[in-house]
């Protein structure tokens, strides 16, 4: 499985960004997909996850109301729309492939990871 994240960049507080993660290598549409992030000097943390068909989503408290995860199984792509960005959202954002039959928040439930895309939010 290969996951290619893109869409990061340098933005100002209050701006929006849309991250994309393109998957290849096996059947994308049957797996939960997640977004995680890692800020400098901190551990990688859960941001959002979406079930195989997009019917169930789950967000970290920090992302609720501002971020939206979605997927297009026809394009083998998962997205993270980030609005009202804050400086504390600055991190490398990673997409990951998770379990088949349930949605998960635990980093240990995700087996395959993309290379990450850097999001920097200036104040």
pLDDT higher than 90, residue 94: yes
Query: 99-106 long-range contacts, Cβ below 8 Å, gap at least 24?
Result: 99/31, 99/32, 100/30, 100/31, 100/32, 100/52, 102/32, 102/51, 103/32, 103/49, 103/50, 103/51, 103/56, 103/57, 103/58, 104/32, 104/34, 104/49, 105/34, 105/46, 105/49, 105/58, 105/60, 106/46
CA–CA distance from 28 to each of 21, 73, 78 (Å)?
A: 11, 7, 10
Confidence (pLDDT) at 1: 87
Mean pLDDT of 5-26: 96
Local confidence band at 26 (pLDDT 50, 70, 90 cut-offs): confident
pLDDT digits (tens, 9 = 90+) for 35-69: 999 999 999 999 999 999 999 999 999 999 999 99
pLDDT higher than 90, residue 84: yes
Determine the Cα–Cα distance for residues 118 and 15; give it in Å rounded to an integer: 15
pLDDT higher than 90, residue 15: yes
β-bridge partners, 84? none
Confidence (pLDDT) at 7: 98
């Amino acid at each position: 499985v290969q996951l290619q994240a893109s869409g990061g960049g340098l933005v100002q507080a209050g701006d929006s960004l849309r991250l994309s993660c393109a998957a290849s290598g096996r059947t994308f549409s049957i797996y939960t997909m997640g977004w995680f992030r890692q800020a400098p000097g901190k551990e990688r943390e859960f941001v959002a996850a979406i079930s195989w068909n997009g019917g169930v989503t789950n967000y970290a408290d920090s992302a609720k109301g501002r971020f939206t995860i979605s997927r297009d199984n026809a394009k083998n792509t998962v997205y993270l729309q980030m609005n009202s960005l804050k400086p504390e959202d600055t991190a490398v954002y990673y997409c990951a492939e998770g379990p088949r039959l349930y949605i998960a928040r635990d980093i240990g439930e995700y087996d395959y990871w993309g290379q990450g895309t850097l999001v920097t939010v200036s104040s």
